Amino acid sequence: MKQMKLTRRDVAALAGSSAIAASLASVSPAAAYQGNMERALGALQDAFGSLQAATPNKGGHRERAMDLIQRAIAQVQEGIDFANANGGGGGPPY
């Protein structure tokens, strides 16, 4: 079996590569782009604004819808926050 001879340059390159790999492994997950979730959040906020502007003569259904939208906004935001904290999500749209 043929033995490899390592030069100082090889050792330095290997050490540098190991240091880079170690630093990348220790980086916390970055906030990932959440395009679909961000658009959903915007749509929910728009819907809430439209319901706020509507007349309240809907037998309580307008208010119920506003409550559900507020809950949905909170859930979408929690999903975005979770994905950002755990490195989830996709890349930007192409």
How many Å apart are CA 92 and CA 45, to the nearest integer?
22
pLDDT of residue 42: 97
The per-residue pLDDT for range 6-63, each reduced to its tens digit, is 566 665 665 555 555 444 444 445 566 889 999 999 999 999 999 999 999 999 999 9
How many Å apart are CA 69 and CA 63, to the nearest integer?
10
Nearest to 28 by CA among 84, 92, 93: 84
Domain ranges of the chain: 32-87
Q: Are the C-beta atoms of 62 and 54 separated by less than 8 Å?
A: yes
SS3 76: helix
Confidence of residue 91 (pLDDT cuts 50, 70, 90): low
pLDDT of residue 33: 81
pLDDT of residue 24: 45
pTM of this structure? 0.62
Task: Please give the C-alpha separations between residue 89 and each of 7, 36, 76, 84, 93, in angstroms, as whole numbers.
Answer: 43, 9, 13, 8, 12
Output 15 or 78, whichever has higher pLDDT: 78
Residue 67 has pLDDT above 90, yes or no: yes
| Residue type present at position 24 | L
The per-residue pLDDT for range 81-90, each reduced to its tens digit, is 999 999 876 5
